[in-house]
Amino acid sequence: MKRDLYADLCAWKGSGRRKPLILRGARQVGKTHLLKEFGNKEYSGVAYFNFEEDPRLKGFFTGRLNPTALIEALGLYRNEPIKAGEDLIIFDEIQASNEALNALKYFQEQANDFHIAAAGSLLGVKLSQPMSFPVGKVNFLDLRPMSFPEFLDAVGESRYRALIDKKSDAEPFSEAFHEDLLDLLKIYYFVGGMPEAVECYAKNHHFSEVRTIQNEILNAYVLDFAKHAPHQDIPKLMQVWDSIPAQLARENRKFQFAALKSTARARDYENAILWLENAGLILRCFLITKPGQPLTAYADPSSFKVYALDIGLLGAMARISPEILVRGHVLFQEFKGAFIENYVAQTLVGITGGGLHYWKNEAATAEIDFLWESPKSEILPLEAKAGINTKSKSLRTFDDKHHPKQLLRTTLLNLRKDGKILNIPLYALTAIGRLSIAE
């Protein structure tokens, strides 16, 4: 299936500052498939090595490392020589070998004519530890679940993707297109963006099979907890992970440690939350009381919301039945609109690469779901609504206090301007960078 990151891989290949590449991402977001497709299309051949499937590979990286000799040995091991600049070398699940991860620096320093891409489902966890590898010796890319535009491509609706991708003004979409896109968005809310689930839906439209795949993915994540997480943190990981649907169902979606157990304290769960975040399984959105730049400097690390990495997996965790798809737009209102926020969170992370923030006034009488930094470096409030209610008290409160040039709202309504408020339909949220500066 077509992935937007493919263009970034091509840019990496041709870059004058190309170094060994580390492709990060949660399990089953499609890293291996994408790298193999890229290698098969853009190179003469692919030399693929998986450190989890073949533990013997670790032995090649012990002792003093000579990159050229190592490549020769790996070529002999696979019974086919590896050609510099012509073959793509893929080190998959590289987090299983710290020596191989560290060896990337030697390839960059002594044999950078070999093109190497490393990937792993828990690389974020590995790289968050000290001394994982020397800084500055690798390039990074992040692969996440498929976005809604990627989903449109996968299900044969590229015409609608093109419509969204070229939109740069505030004129409403055709009403017929608007209704079609809402229906497709509803399906995306159930299917989500995990490639195997998307491929299953694209082939046979069987929602029950989609849900089976999602549950298998969730089970694989739990097995990762047991296999890779520190033993003392596993019960806490499970508590945090299992609590996500209930936390989002609360009127106040700020993560509540007391919801895990009455005596829970933040410091007792800090490592568990960081592990889930570094594994790419959760997204955190931090409270901002002053929308200054950079936003991270004004974030309160003790106040945050937790979202799932994928809206389809969130639905599986919450056991949302496929029958809800035939009940109009009810799915958008599930969990008091939490599905909307989770969708917006993962969409914004896909656009910006991270850094989610929300705003609340000091009196706690107004709250903005997200803050968006426009291409003009303006910090704009973004309110996410589950329905078509256009009341925006919190936006007005933010406007009175901070006077942004524009107020943003994303809903089920069509694209339109309402004075200072720009309403972006949820299905077109990936166009926020263009639309937020449209005249």
In the predicted model, what is the mean pLDDT of residues 59-65?
Answer: 88
How far are the Cα atoms of 92, 102, 122, 133, 342 from residue 128, in angstroms, in the given order? 18, 14, 10, 10, 25
Judge whether residue 82 has pLDDT over 80: yes
SS3 71: helix
Tokens (6 digits) for 327: 């009940």
Judge whether residue 330 has pLDDT over 80: no
pLDDT for residue 123: 83
In the predicted model, what is the mean pLDDT of residues 172-195?
Answer: 96
HSE (CB half, 13 Å, CA atoms) of 313?
26
- Could you report the per-residue pLDDT of 402-413, keeping only the tens digit for each? 999 999 999 999
Judge whether residue 391 has pLDDT over 80: no
HSE (CB half, 13 Å, CA atoms) of 195?
16
Strands 379-384, 370-373: pairing is: antiparallel
CA proximity to 299, closest of 309, 284, 280, 283: 284
Measured CA angle at 106 (ends 101, 110), to 5 deg: 155
Rounded to two decimals, what is the model's pTM?
A: 0.94
pLDDT for residue 364: 80
State how far the Cα of 283 lies from the Cα of 248, in Å rounded to an integer. Answer: 12
Amino acid identity at 429: L
What 8-state DSSP symbol labels residue 145? S
In the predicted model, what is the mean pLDDT of residues 21-46?
Answer: 97
In the predicted model, what is the mean pLDDT of residues 326-331?
Answer: 70
pLDDT for residue 133: 66
The percentage of the chain sitting over the pLDDT mark of 90, rounded to a whole number, equals 75
Judge whether residue 315 has pLDDT over 70: yes
Q: Average pLDDT of the chain?
A: 92
In the predicted model, what is the mean pLDDT of residues 23-41?
Answer: 97
Judge whether residue 437 has pLDDT over 80: no
Amino acid identity at 309: L
In the predicted model, what is the mean pLDDT of residues 255-273?
Answer: 89
Domains of the chain: 5-142 (3.40.50.300), 148-435 (no CATH)
State how far the Cα of 320 lies from the Cα of 316, in Å rounded to an integer. Answer: 6
Burial string for 383-409 (b: 16+ CB within 10 Å, else e) reads bbbbeeeeebebbebbbeebebebbbb
How far are the Cα atoms of 263, 353, 360, 381, 402 from residue 292, in angstroms, in the given order? 35, 19, 14, 12, 10
pLDDT for residue 353: 87
Amino acid identity at 18: R
Judge whether residue 438 has pLDDT over 70: no
Judge whether residue 135 has pLDDT over 80: no
SS3 of the chain: helix, strand, coil, percent, to 5: 50, 15, 35
- Could you report the per-residue pLDDT of 85-133, keeping only the tens digit for each? 999 999 999 999 989 998 999 999 999 999 999 999 888 877 777 655 6
The percentage of the chain sitting over the pLDDT mark of 70, rounded to a whole number, equals 96
Question: pLDDT grade, residue 326 (50/70/90)?
Answer: low
- Could you report the per-residue pLDDT of 366-384, keeping only the tens digit for each? 999 999 988 788 899 999 9
Measured CA angle at 424 (ends 418, 426), to 5 deg: 140
- Could you report the per-residue pLDDT of 168-180, keeping only the tens digit for each? 999 999 999 999 9
pLDDT for residue 429: 97
State how far the Cα of 360 lies from the Cα of 284, in Å rounded to an integer. Answer: 16
